[in-house]
Amino acid sequence: MVETMKLAMGCDPAAYLFYRKLLERMRGEGYDIVDVGCESENEADGGKYAEIAEIVSNKVIKKECDYGILLCGTGQGMAMAANKIPGIRAVLCYDVLPAVLSKNDNNGNVLCTGAWFMEKKGIDFTLAMIHAWLFSDYTGTHEDGMRALSHLDCKRY
């Protein structure tokens, strides 16, 4: 249920305005959200997305939050940064079906998306995608692949 699910969410300056609208709607629906920023659309980016992605990812890894949601202009930078954190399986989605499959097949624990694309689809569509992702279950059908991914977390190159 929404009431028992705790989410860590963050954005960079490129996604700030859309993120604030999304955050307000999700809180209105009863989600318990830890908002890690950013503080304004005018903030100098300078890699802010990496800092925000790390904070959100660590909250998920430390089990302070059930899942993470990250937004930047395209979602790509957030996904790349979050996936640097061992144990994070950040997924980049712009539509409902890939969001569901990323949970069903790959047990994604951080959803990344791009405000520049989702603004065009609208808040309602974005919420539908997020809901579909949050309430999908990992099916366990790709256990070998999941073990291989976990093994990569331990490697250093």
> Could you confirm whether 65 is annotated as catalytic?
no
Cβ-contact 82, 112 below 8 angstroms: yes
Active-site option among 72, 93, 112, 154: 72
Dist CA 116 CA 100 (whole Å): 21
Hey, what are 94's tokens?
């712009």
User: Length of the chain in residues, anyone?
Assistant: 157
Beta-bridge partner residues of 107: none
Hey, what are 27's tokens?
């809180």
Strand 110-114 and strand 32-35: pairing? Answer: unpaired
Dist CA 44 CA 26 (whole Å): 26
Dist CA 111 CA 91 (whole Å): 5
Return the active site residues. 72
